[in-house]
Amino acid sequence: MHLGEYTDIELLELLTTDKKNRAFRILFDRYHSFVLKKCKRLIKDTSDAEDLTQQVFLKLEKKYTSFEGKSSFKTWLYSITYRECLVFMRDAKKITFKNVDLVELKEQYDYIDLEKDLDLEAQKNLDLLNHIDPLDKALLLMKYQDGMKLKLIAEALQLGESNVKMRLKRAKARLLKLKSQSRKA
């Protein structure tokens, strides 16, 4: 069987053998455009997105043994990609991530249906995302554009599920407020 026909998991296993370079190259070829697209969505600058894509694959090469098989390889790689983008944005803007007070505003934003109220496919709405906190932007894209479950988002960002849920509610509210303000302008 040709290496290109191997599954992602089989290729990961080959990273411990003398076929490491070829196996890694196949994984890179399979997922480069996927990772680059995710990076470009979060990072406006194409050059930075390309650099981040390289960083993601460097991290993959160093950390492939930490893959536990609890999710698909693609989901695991997706998590690495988002974490790297968030670290970049935090470092670039010196943003500090604070823990959310879970009692504060617990049910305030339950009425918001982002999928119904804000079409994330429309370019002007995507542009609004650039005006909110990068972590909030990442959360909204992960949940509403990529359809990730809360548990997976929490694992990817190393946050608690209730923290993710509260940040999502607040991010939706901020985004809808921006949309309302942009209509008035």
In this structure, of 33-42, 118-127, 146-155, 174-183, the range with the lowest mean pLDDT score is 118-127
Q: Which of 131, 38, 122 is nearest to 85 (CA)?
A: 38
What is the residue-averaged pLDDT of the chain?
77
Spatial neighbors of 7 by CB under 8 A, at least 6 apart, are none
Report the alpha-carbon distance of residue 185 to residue 178 in Å, rounded: 10
User: CA torsion angle for 176, 179, 181, 185 (degrees, to 10)?
Assistant: -170
The predicted structure's pLDDT at residue 34: 93
The predicted structure's pLDDT at residue 163: 87
Q: Over the stretch 62-74, which tens digit does the pLDDT of each residue have?
A: 888 888 887 788 8
The predicted structure's pLDDT at residue 97: 42
Question: What is this structure's pTM?
Answer: 0.60
Q: Does residue 137 contact residue 73 with C-beta atoms inside 8 Å?
A: no
Q: Over the stretch 3-29, which tens digit does the pLDDT of each residue have?
A: 678 888 888 888 888 888 999 999 999
The total of other beta-carbon atoms located within 10 Å of residue 94's CB is 6
Residue labelled with tokens 């990961």: 12
Report the alpha-carbon distance of residue 149 to residue 152 in Å, rounded: 5
Q: Over the stretch 84-122, which tens digit does the pLDDT of each residue have?
A: 888 888 777 644 444 433 333 333 334 444 444 455 545
Q: pLDDT grade, residue 123 (50/70/90)?
A: low
Report the alpha-carbon distance of residue 144 to residue 49 in Å, rounded: 21
The predicted structure's pLDDT at residue 91: 77
The predicted structure's pLDDT at residue 179: 78
Q: Does residue 40 contact residue 49 with C-beta atoms inside 8 Å?
A: yes
